[in-house]
Structure 1
Amino acid sequence: MHRRPLFGFAFAVFVFTGVYFFLPNLQSEVITYAQLAAAGFLAIALHELGHVIGGKLMGMNFGYVVAGPFHIEKGKKGIRLRENRNWGLIGGVALMLPTPGHTEDRLRKDLSVMTISGPIMSSSLCVLFLAMWHFSTIEFFAFCSMLHGGILVATILPLPNGDFQTDGSAFYRLIRQTEAGERQIQSAKLMAEMYGAKRPVYWSSSLYEQCKKKVETAAELKDVFIESMFVFYVEADRDGIKPAIERLFHHFRIESDKRMAVYHGPFLEWRMLADAISGTLDDKTLHKYAEGVTMFSDGTYSRMQAMLAWSRQDLNKALAYSKEAFSPYAKLNGFGVLEREWTRMLATRIRTSVKTIA
């Protein structure tokens, strides 16, 4: 199993505790670094909480929030806390889903308020903790103020950030009604459907047709990433995973490219999963595609690791990875229904091979 954030946090606590008790001359430094770590976690968690509060004030639905090693999500039976298995999300992320039926203008307003609420929370707490430090001289409050200010600067400036965007750039695009802002609104609609109560085959037919047209006219997968996922889930539920993923591979050039791993990774794993379920898995292609699957999506990553272990005849590890892959989808509706079914199918294939070898 790959080392997950919770392991890293637990290891850090263990090291700090050991240094504190066995190296007394470093106790003051340990206390300082421990306070910085705690203040950093609070800065991330409360910034994301700001997004959640802003979204709820606009009537949006809670999807999930991640901060450090913790992942809080809304599933079939309400809110649950689980471990964040994804190193790529330890910096925090919040998903708020728009209310169905809202107009384009209302959706833009909803998303704008939700987006800017994180920086507003950080700026407010920066000032509050600065005042608390001024009147109490407690060092921890100074650290909190400093780190809330750092989060504010890092998220509010409308700067380019690779494949991602800061809160400031997202807010700017929304209020200026740019093409990128319109794509944010469309993506929010799709995410609301994907995380909703219905399984993919019952998702909005009009949204499916819109996505289908965009996918058919797009040159690169990254330009229609969410739309491609939407189309894939609907067609996989309707026709089966293999024909659905083969259509996308026929249309796009999907390869194990580290630069495109965020976009290509899930589709590479689904391609191998389709072969594994149908009994046509090719070891050479499996290992080639595995290089393009990142830990950013913990479910698909763990499932790919299960297939790799299976190809090496390490069946116990393969079953352990398939069990790990099931966890992120265990309580999800929408696309989570399909992901659970596929993970069970893979585990069944692995167990069958165990019996055959025995």
Structure 2
Amino acid sequence: MVWILQFILYAILGFILSSSIHELGHIITGITQGFNFYLFIAGPFGFKRNDKDKIVFYIEKNISLWGGLGATIPQNDDVNNFKKFGRVLLGGPITSIVVGIICLPIAIITKGLFLMLLGVMAISMGIACLIPARNGAFHTDGGRWLRMHKSESTRNVELAIWNLTQSAIINGNHKKLNYDEIKLLINDADTRTQYLGHFYAYHLYKDNNDLESCEKEKAELENLKTKVPKQVVSMFKID
């Protein structure tokens, strides 16, 4: 019984630590590309840059984000930022795999259960994130990187998501969002991408005091709620 409890505890700690390693891989890669730290979440614990440009600790209440999240933001609106973002995407999985490969031989030599679990989880997480698939609101890291290079249509969608997110964060509001890019998301075949497009449209109209259009976008989001995963609705809430 004690061994089972110990294994469960090690598994929980291993998952949180492997998630932290993965997200730190994204963050460190972003910083090497000249981006600034913006957000780090591992389990219910998080660090974020607030409105006063200070990094603060907080408790993340959104359970859908407990799997881990790491983000850096560009210091300015540069055309090369999208290419740099591609490197940031791969930074997390590669870091996970490298750390896992280091942990496993040490675990075998020392017969350490925790290191063994951490190594397996880190490698598994790295490989899983490289496999092109849909992960909640977005594609996996490998999936997004592939879409950036696969075709013009998928690249344009990923570029639009990147530009809209970048603009909102850098400007601190949604007033200057490009509606052509929003329309590109709304017209996408995937309902999750459509939801994200209407989400940005809602905030664009709201921040520009176009209340009539704002209400129309709110209705569109309500209609799409039952067609997208709950995680998408949870991540992209509106007032």
Query: Structure 1 length as normaliser, TM-score?
Result: 0.58
- Partner residue of 1:235 out of 188, 199, 205: 205
Of 88-97 and 171-180, deviating more is: 171-180
- Higher relative CO (Cα under 8 Å, sequence separation at least 6) belongs to 2
Q: In structure 2, what is the Cα distance between the partners aligned to 1:299 and 1:209?
A: 20
Structure 1 runs, 4 residues or longer, greater than 6 Å off: 215-221
Contact conserved, 1:69 with 1:83, CA < 8 A, in 2?
Answer: yes
State the 1:229 CA deviation: 3.0
Unaligned runs of 5+ in 2: none
Deviations 1:285-330 (A, max 9, x none): xxxxxxxxxxx24965xxxxxxxxxxxxxxxxxxxxxxxxxxxxxx
Q: Give the secondary-structure state (helix, strand or coil) at the position aligned to 1:85.
A: coil
2:23 equivalent in structure 1: 48
User: Which of the two has higher C-alpha Rg?
Assistant: 1
State the 1:247 CA deviation: 3.2
Deviations 1:160-204 (A, max 9, x none): 446531111112222345422332222112112212244444xx3
Q: In structure 2, what is the Cα distance between the partners aligned to 1:264 and 1:171?
A: 20
Q: Give the secondary-structure state (helix, strand or coil) at the position aligned to 1:239.
A: coil
Identity of aligned residues (%): 18
2:14 equivalent in structure 1: 39
1:126 aligned partner, one-letter code: G
Contact conserved, 2:199 with 2:236, CA < 8 A, in 1?
Answer: no
User: Larger helix proportion, structure 1 or 2?
Assistant: 1
User: Are 1:247 and 2:223 matched, yes or no?
Assistant: no
CA separation of 1:130 and 1:121: change in aligned 2, threshold 3 A: same
Count of residue pairs brought into register by the alignment: 238
CA separation of 1:62 and 1:135: change in aligned 2, threshold 3 A: same
User: Are 1:63 and 2:33 matched, yes or no?
Assistant: no
State the 1:28 CA deviation: 2.3
1:110 equivalent in structure 2: 84
CA separation of 1:217 and 1:43: change in aligned 2, threshold 3 A: closer
1:88 aligned partner, one-letter code: S
Q: In structure 2, what is the Cα distance between the partners aligned to 1:48 and 1:180?
A: 24
Contact conserved, 2:174 with 2:203, CA < 8 A, in 1?
Answer: yes
1:116 aligned partner, one-letter code: L
1:132 equivalent in structure 2: 106
Of 113-122 and 91-100, deviating more is: 91-100
User: Are 1:120 and 2:94 matched, yes or no?
Assistant: yes
Q: In structure 2, what is the Cα distance between the partners aligned to 1:146 and 1:90?
A: 20
Q: In structure 1, what is the Cα distance between the partners aligned to 2:33 and 2:231?
A: 30
CA separation of 1:158 and 1:178: change in aligned 2, threshold 3 A: farther
Contact conserved, 1:40 with 1:144, CA < 8 A, in 2?
Answer: yes
- Structure 1 vs Structure 2 CA RMSD: 3.0
Q: In structure 1, what is the Cα distance between the partners aligned to 2:149 and 2:182?
A: 28
Q: In structure 1, what is the Cα distance between the partners aligned to 2:236 and 2:61?
A: 6
Q: In structure 2, what is the Cα distance between the partners aligned to 1:129 and 1:97?
A: 30
Query: Structure 2 length as normaliser, TM-score?
Result: 0.83
